[in-house]
Structure 1
C-alpha cells in the first residue's frame, strides 16, 4: 500500500505544522514571561526544541509570535470569564463575581499569562498598539455584557462604553500591581474589589 502523500508516521503535514506552531507559542509564553531570559527568536526556538527554519514556517518574526501569544491569552480570558458567568445562573451579581473570579483564577494558575499580556507587552514598542486594541476590545465586551445584565433604560451606550473602559483599565492596573507585588491581596479580595467596581458603574 502506498504511503499517503504528506503523511509521516501517521501524522499529516498540516498536523505537524500545527504542532510546531503550538510548541513555539508555548515556548514564547515561557521565555517572554521569564525576567531572567532575554526574549529572542533563538531563545524561543531553543525552548521549543525547534530550528529557526521551523519558526519562519509559522511566524514572520519575533513580534508576530509575541502578538499571537497576546491574542491567545486575551481569547482565553474572554472565553473563561464568559463560561464562568454563564454557569453562575441568572443572578447578575453572581454572574459578575463568577466572571471576575475566573479571570483571577486564570492568573493564579498561570501568572505568566497576565504578565506577558498586561505587563511585559508595554515594553515592546510594536506591541503597545495591539495591547491597547485588546484592552479596548475587552472593555467593549464588558460594556455589552454589563448592559445586558445591569444596564437601565436611562443609560446610553456611550455610558456603557465609558464604564467598560474604566473597569478594564482599572483591572489592568490592579493586576499589574498585584503581579509585581506592589499590592498584597488574596484572590477573594481582588475579586470583591473588582466586582464592586464593575457593579457600581452600572447601578
Structure 2
C-alpha cells in the first residue's frame, strides 16, 4: 500500500516542521542563556541537532529565533499569571499575590527565561525594542486586570496605564537585580513587596 503523500513514519510534513521549530526554540533558549556560549545560528543548530537548512525552514535569521523565544516567554508569563489569579478566588489581594507568585515560580523553575527575556535581550538593539514592546503589553494587561479586579474610583484609563508601566518596569528592574545577584532577597520577600506595590498603585 502506498504511503500517504506528505506522511513519513506516521508524522505529516507540517508536524515535522513544527517539531523542528520547537527544537530550535528550545536550543536557542539554552544557548542564549549560557554565558559561556556565544549566541550564533551555528550554536543554536548544533544544540538542536539540526542543520542550517532546517533553521531557515522556520526562521529568517538569528534575531528572528531569539525574538520568537522572547514572545513565547512573555505569553507564558501572561497565561500563567492570569490562570493563577483566576484560581485564587475573589479576594483582590489574594489574587494579586497568586499572580506574582506564579510569575516568580516560573522564573525559579527555569531561570533561563527571565535571564534572556529581561537581561540578555537588552544587549541586542532589535531585541531591546521588542523587549520594550513586550513590557508595555504586559503593563497594559496589568492595568486592564487591575481595573477589572480593584475598580477605578477617581482614576482615568490613562492613569491606570501609567500605573501598569510603573509596576511592570519596576518588576523588570527588580528581577534583573535578583537574577544577576546584586539583590539578595527571598522569593517570598519579592512576592510580598511586588504585591504591596501593585495594590498600592491601584488603591
Q: What is the TM-score when the length of structure 1 is the normalising length?
A: 0.99
CA displacement 1:45-76 (0-9 Å, x = unmatched) = 00000000000000000000000000000000
Shift of 1:2: 1.2
List, as ranges, runs of 4+ consecutive aligned residues in structure 1 with deviation greater than 3 Å: none
Q: Secondary structure at the match of 2:154?
A: coil
Correspondence for 1:54: 54
Question: Does residue 1:192 correspond to 2:192, yes or no?
Answer: yes
Work out the CA distance in 2 between the residues paired with 1:190 and 1:49: 38
5+ long unaligned stretches in structure 2: none
Q: How far apart, CA to CA, are the structure 1 residues paired with 2:138 and 2:71? A: 12
Where does residue 116 of structure 2 map in the other structure?
Answer: 116
SS of 1:100 mapped into structure 2:
helix
**2:59, 2:158 → 1: CA distance?**
38
What are the superposed Cα offsets for residues 94-144 of structure 1, whole Å, 9 maximum, x if unpaired? 000000000000000000000000000000111111110000000000000
Distance 1:39 1:192 in 2: 35
Q: Aligned partners of 1:199, 1:122: CA distance in 2, in Å?
A: 29
SS in 1 for 2:155: coil
CA–CA distance in 1 between the matches of 2:200 and 2:9? 58
SS in 2 for 1:2: coil
Structure 1, unmatched stretches of 5+, are none
Query: Counterparts of 2:192 and 2:35 in 1: how far apart (Å)?
Result: 30
Hey, what does 1:22 align to over in structure 2? Answer: 22
Deviation of residue 151 (structure 1)?
Answer: 2.9
* Residue of structure 2 equivalent to 1:149: 149
| Residue matched to 2:64 | 64
The more displaced of 22-31 and 147-156 is 147-156
Across the aligned residues of Structure 1 and Structure 2, the Cα RMSD in angstroms comes to 0.5
Which residue of the partner structure matches residue 2 of structure 2? 2
Cα deviation for residue 152 of structure 1 reads 2.7
Spell out the pairing of 1:146-185 with structure 2 (5 A cutoff). 146-185=146-185
Report the Cα distance in structure 2 between the residues aligned to 1:139 and 1:168, rounded to whole angstroms: 6
Match of 1:93 in 2: 93
Give the match for residue 201 of structure 1. Answer: 201
Structure 1: distance between partners of 2:131 and 2:116: 10
